[in-house]
Chains A and B, each alone.
Chain A
């Protein structure tokens, strides 16, 4: 069974708009990570937020974590066509293992 579930499953926006996707999970976590996957490629690590952190920024990415609601969100600001990809959240345990959600497909049109 999958730990994380992303919402929405698909998102279509125009360049310059912000994209927000959410992730909910079921059990306690050590950290939560977001990955990007371009079509036909491997996953690329975007950002890691620890269970004792509430918000983290990296460039145009902003991640929040609410452990009381077991949820996280990823915001991509001022999106570009190159941001077109699938985005996955993954919950990490203290043994280095990850459990992935099914992903959000984001399409950014010029």
Chain B
């Protein structure tokens, strides 16, 4: 099992450009999440999905869109990149354990720089 994979690993964008980050998981998890991590801060939730075809906003959704067309994939889009979106982006998938408690499994991250 590859677990959670993210593509690409690194990317540099110019302000106003668009891009899509791809997350894939092979663990058949229902839940998937996109976070961003900035220096000195913990992870902040951008968007998440509780199943194929569903998405919901997290804590910091502005400037991002997502899609979950297939259960194993969760895409994060930046339509018009801004320097404030320079960050490390992590994808995670989640599984429900006993009593409705969820553990999350993280991908290796995508380092995005917007100039």
Contact = CB atoms under 8 A, between A and B. Distances in A.
A47 to B, nearest CB: 10
Given A95-B50, A96-B50, A45 B104 contact: yes
Given A30-B101, A41-B109, A45-B105, A100 B43 contact: yes
Q: How large is the interface on B (under 10, 10 to 19, 20 to 34, 35 or more residues)?
A: 20 to 34
A45 to B, nearest CB: 5
B106 A42 contact: yes
Binding site secondary structure of chain B: strand
A110 to B, nearest CB: 27
Contacts, number: 66
Interface in B1-37: 4, 31, 33, 35
Interface string B79-108: 000000000001010101101111111111
B74 interface: no
Contact of A43 (B31, B40, B106): B106
Nearest to A47: B103
Contacts of B96: 96
B45 A102 contact: no
B40 A102 contact: yes
A2 interface: yes
Contact of B48 (A4, A30, A97): A97
Given A42-B106, A42-B109, A99-B45, A92 B101 contact: yes
B48 to A, nearest CB: 6
B44 to A, nearest CB: 7
B38 to A, nearest CB: 10
B102 A92 contact: yes
A27 interface: no
Given A95-B50, A96-B94, A97-B58, A43 B100 contact: no
A44 B101 contact: no
A2 B41 contact: yes
Given A50-B99, A50-B101, A92-B102, A98 B45 contact: yes
Contact of B45 (A33, A40, A42, A97): A97
A45 B4 CA distance: 13
Interface in A91-108: 92, 94-103
